[in-house]
Structure 1
């Protein structure tokens, strides 16, 4: 925990632990949740989405990521104090009580529920399906090597809702874009999981990094390749114009760059690669807008 970040500088001291509990001080996860949803909104709108939907989906991404992080810390409070990276988190360090964290989780869920009034019935049902995924993700690493798959489904759920709320349908190419995003997340989250693998083994937890082992480069490369194929085929299904495929080629090149630099022997180098996936999210939005609004 940094003592000089914006949370420490600008928020009242009593608010700080709550802000850190929902990771307001670490926005990378929020951006990785939001950017694919914004791309899907552009695809579903065949161009620029409405400002109203941009606001609603942005708030939804921020809040649901906060809910997920809150439950993660609630379930992991007895593990976090044993790991240097997490021992200063609000719950495990005693800055917040379990009761306060549970009330905060409930408050976030209630505020998120108010957003349901702004979307259609189809999307409301999808939103309800998302809640258990967000809650159970932290428990998955106790019994499966694929918790990142569950996280990927939850993180990118907004892509499905973008289609259902905009068009009241979920076409095959919208679903294929989501599957591609899930595989993309398994890939970049595996890079991050290698950083934590030693601590996870000590705590008896599981991750895709343990499943991939020394073959991490091949597995991650395969996930990224499948993502590029699914996103390209989905673009064809949507009738995207040629600029979409130009940007897809750039994304594919970015994936190649990540895989080339990744090395299971030096996992700490992966943090830079993990964060670089925000660039992929931005490029995905660029592709969606270029493929729908540019002519040639």
Structure 2
């Protein structure tokens, strides 16, 4: 292989892992950071913080690779995904599986730097990440399963910082599951027409004409759960201000999806990055002002 060919392979692997679109990293990272700051009461261990940040990048990349492998027969028929490396024939399925294994092993090597409880939990996280892409064949709730997988960083973060998983962690975990269910439904609304044609299942299809109302109810529940976390964690007014700011972003997202236009639904999905950010800022500043 000459240098140009190597650069082309590297480019295709970069695209396969969706490192050109970091939104997935951000919305996976925010819950991990929420949990690390809450579990450590504002002073996360730097080694643990590094492991989780690097682990999020690696596991999100691995998740994208195995997702495209699982969807290799569907993606060529969906407008938004037909040019992805596997669907376009630029990366083989064998290459994809090798990359998935390498990324997963790197993430596991990082977890070995943490305590036994966290290492044990990592096996559950790896199973969830690897199995999620296949759920859309069997259930209309793959978005909920995504939340279970994405949110697994929450109990892991508490385990890493405290060697325990208190009630607060589980309440936060449920909030993160529901949050992922909401934003991934917005994402699924973009592909709804194509998914109906090829038989892929999603909550966007399951919810039907009640999609906005159901997501609105879930968003109210998410805010309630976050407020409960604040109560259990004895947080101050800055935390609650951050959650209220997050509620404002939820209202804006409802406005974006009102007409169910594809571009606006995708914009609503992207806007969830700001929700995650303002909640995180509220947590950090609440501990800082004490």
TM class by shorter chain equals: over 0.9
Q: Please show how residues 66-215 of structure 1 align to structure 2 within 5 Å.
A: 66-215=61-210
Secondary structure of residue in 2 paired with 1:94:
coil
Give distance in 2, aligned partners of 1:130 and 1:206. 23
Secondary structure of residue in 2 paired with 1:81:
helix
* 8 A Cα contact 1:41 1:49, kept in partner: yes
State the 1:150 CA deviation. 0.7
Deviation string 1:233-278 (CA, Å, 9 cap, x unpaired) is 1110011112111111111122122123322542331111111111
Give distance in 2, aligned partners of 1:68 and 1:16. 18
Secondary structure of residue in 1 paired with 2:77:
coil
State the 1:12 CA deviation. 2.0
Q: 1:242 to 1:135 in 2, by over 3 A?
A: same
Deviation string 1:40-61 (CA, Å, 9 cap, x unpaired) is 1111110131222221101110
**Residue of structure 1 in register with 2:53 after alignment:** 58
Give distance in 2, aligned partners of 1:253 and 1:104. 40
State the 1:292 CA deviation. 2.2
* 8 A Cα contact 1:40 1:288, kept in partner: no
> How many equivalent residue pairs?
285
State the 1:227 CA deviation. 0.4
Give distance in 2, aligned partners of 1:79 and 1:159. 32
For 1:46, which of 15, 38, 41 is the aligned residue? 41
* 8 A Cα contact 2:51 2:111, kept in partner: no
- Whether 1:260 and 2:255 are equivalent positions in the alignment is yes
Give distance in 1, aligned partners of 2:241 and 2:35. 18
Give distance in 2, aligned partners of 1:13 and 1:260. 41
Give distance in 1, aligned partners of 2:179 and 2:9. 37
RMSD: 1.3
Deviation string 1:136-173 (CA, Å, 9 cap, x unpaired) is 11111111110001111111211111111000111111
- Normalised by the size of structure 2, how large is the TM-score? 0.95
- Normalised by the size of structure 1, how large is the TM-score? 0.93
Q: Runs of 4 or more off by more than 4 Å in structure 1?
A: none
**Residue of structure 1 in register with 2:3 after alignment:** none
- Whether 1:250 and 2:223 are equivalent positions in the alignment is no
Give distance in 2, aligned partners of 1:53 and 1:201. 43
Deviation string 1:163-210 (CA, Å, 9 cap, x unpaired) is 110001111111101110110111111111111000111110100001
Give distance in 2, aligned partners of 1:93 and 1:261. 31
* 8 A Cα contact 2:238 2:283, kept in partner: no
* 8 A Cα contact 1:36 1:284, kept in partner: no
Give distance in 2, aligned partners of 1:256 and 1:84. 29
Give distance in 2, aligned partners of 1:174 and 1:110. 26
Q: Please show how residues 251-290 of structure 1 align to structure 2 within 5 Å.
A: 251-290=246-285
- Whether 1:30 and 2:25 are equivalent positions in the alignment is yes
Give distance in 2, aligned partners of 1:177 and 1:17. 36
